[in-house]
Amino acid sequence: MPPSPASAYPCGLVWFRRDLRAEDHAALYHALTQCAQVHCVFVFDTDILDTLPRADRRVEFIRESLVELDAALRNLCGHAQGGLIVRHAAASEAVPALAEELGAQAVFANHDDEPAALERDSQVRTRLAAASRAFHTFKDHTVLERSEVLTQSGSPYSVFTPYKNAWLKKVDAFQLSSYPVERHAHRLAPRPPTCRHAVPDLAWLGFEPAGLAQLRIPTGASGARQLLKDFLGRIARYDTARDFPAIKGPSYLSVHLRFGTISPRVLARTAHGLMREGNAGATTWLSELIWRDFYFQILHHHPHVVGHSFKPAYDAIQWETGPEADALFAAWCEGRTGYPLVDAAMAQINQTGYMHNRLRMVVASFLVKDLGLDWRRGEAYFAEHLNDFDLAANNGGWQWASSSGCDAQPYFRIFNPVSQSEKFDPEGKFIRRYLPQLARLPDKALHAPWLARPLDLQEAGVHLGRDYPHPVVDHDAARQRTLARYAVVKAAHAD
């Protein structure tokens, strides 16, 4: 196909990363409107994969979503040899090499502001430039990003509420509109003969199935649409239902936002429209989507948050270390703290790769402010186990819980795991699901078994120390230790 008058490049390559969909895709749209022919690639980046366990739900999610993306691209272009080119290599080398193989004059991708991704993209840009090839990147993973929302003085926000207000003033129909990929899809090129193979299976990649089917986690763009349709039927109750882990309150779309199987513009546009109609649940949900943008712009402007506190004074805190601290961390990881809501939440993440948002706050507060352990240990554990792990949101959440981040809860606010349990799982439905050994305890005894009447424990078949552990710490005593631990921060603020 000869270049059309509007084509800047005869051939372009779209590099899919955390945007595994064919519709409303910024980089794909720009490539299709600037190139006469467009190829598409996804790289199973060995620089990332080699650091993961051999059974990883996220790799399985990506693989299944790519099968659907491959089919969607072939359907868009209308010929059987269209679709996705897949590589299993270091992306920093594979993408420039493929561009050369295809004769592509430009590579198109969407922004990824994580530090490791920026370094990778810098290497790709350098290698492409050495061969006189262009590298274009676009906003796609958030609605508003980087420096699009700034204070009147031109600085980034570090407090959420004014950021949110500015975000709502800034956002408009253009920002929320979708990219019309379909009308330009005739420019999708057939894959070259050397690339005509299906998306590889997990075994070919060196991985094992991680149980997505058993967990009934829907994958791909169709899975995201299915979850959104279900959520819209109950979104009006989101503002109240979202805090109760035993209730079907959340959207469950976080993993799809993470891997881009649905566009954030679609979700924000939907929520924004319902908010304007007075839907309280949609208003709260839109606020959660804005939090997501907020944490991404914090990461962009303050990359030191990776590994360090947003507020430098908090790096002076002395966390517990040594064998006893390691034993406490293991008890937290394995759900053996003796606090049922904490242990049930850890069972949830260990078994499913998901944790309810209210519980993320509870277990994070418990690790930092009851056990006195460095928030970075918990951040790393979540990074390894969460299906929806996103560096910006995970870091922001952990720094919020430890009071070391921007707009964080005050250090003297410490969640009581028992009162949180009584308030948000009053009937113990969530606890009983993940801690069946406590299922026969009466509701009042379930939240703090060590305070239960001996007769209740006996009738429930619970022997503390055998069937369920005693508390590893006393919350009230731990609270006092935390206030003393954070005194160094208080002193710094006084200065």
The per-residue pLDDT for 216 is: 93
**DSSP secondary structure letter of residue 181:** -
The per-residue pLDDT for 1 is: 33
**188, 75 in Cβ contact below 8 A?**
no
The per-residue pLDDT for 494 is: 55
Spatial CB neighbours of 133, under 8 Å, sequence gap ≥ 6: 96, 99, 100, 104, 105, 106, 107
- Mean pLDDT of all residues in 330-357: 98
**% of the chain surpassing 90 pLDDT:** 93
The per-residue pLDDT for 413 is: 86
* pLDDT at residue 265 is higher than 80: yes
The per-residue pLDDT for 3 is: 41
The per-residue pLDDT for 385 is: 97
Arch. (CATH architecture) of 312-490: Orthogonal Bundle (1.10)
> For the domain 1-141, what is the CATH superfamily, name and number?
HUPs (3.40.50.620)
6 confidence band (pLDDT: 50, 70, 90): low
Domain range annotation of the chain: 1-141, 142-177+221-301, 312-490
**36, 3 in Cβ contact below 8 A?**
yes
Q: With helix as H, strand as E and coil as C, how does 194-221 read?
A: HHCCCCCCHHHHCCCCCCHHHHCCCCHH
Tens digit of each residue's pLDDT (9 = 90 or more) over 98-129? 999 999 999 999 999 999 999 999 999 999 99
Six-digit token pair at 278? Answer: 């007075």
* pLDDT at residue 401 is higher than 80: yes
The per-residue pLDDT for 93 is: 98
More confident residue, 193 or 384: 384
The per-residue pLDDT for 194 is: 82
Do the domains 142-177+221-301 and 312-490 sit in the same CATH topology, yes or no? no
**3-state SS class at 356:** coil
* pLDDT at residue 2 is higher than 50: no
User: Can you say whether residue 353 is alpha, beta or left, with left for phi > 0 and alpha for psi between -120 and 50 degrees?
Assistant: left
142-177+221-301 folds as 1.25.40
The per-residue pLDDT for 488 is: 87
Distance, C-alpha 309 to centroid of its chain:
20
- Give me the active site residues, please: 288, 291, 319, 357, 375, 398
4 confidence band (pLDDT: 50, 70, 90): very low
**386, 297 in Cβ contact below 8 A?**
no
The per-residue pLDDT for 407 is: 78
Tens digit of each residue's pLDDT (9 = 90 or more) over 64-91? 999 999 999 999 999 888 899 999 999 9
Least confident range from 2-11, 290-299, 356-365: namely 2-11
Tens digit of each residue's pLDDT (9 = 90 or more) over 415-446? 999 999 999 999 999 999 999 999 999 999 99
**DSSP secondary structure letter of residue 45:** E
R_g of the chain computed on alpha carbons: 24
Task: Give the CA distances from residue 112 to residues 62, 154, 176, 239, 374, in Å, rounded to whole numbers and listed in that order.
Answer: 17, 23, 20, 30, 27
Least confident range from 64-78, 155-169, 189-203, 303-317: namely 189-203
Q: What is the mean pLDDT of the chain?
A: 95
Q: How far is the C-alpha of 200 from the C-alpha of 206, rounded, in Å? A: 10
Other C-beta atoms closer than 10 Å to the C-beta of 251 total: 22
**% of the chain surpassing 70 pLDDT:** 97
**426, 456 in Cβ contact below 8 A?**
no
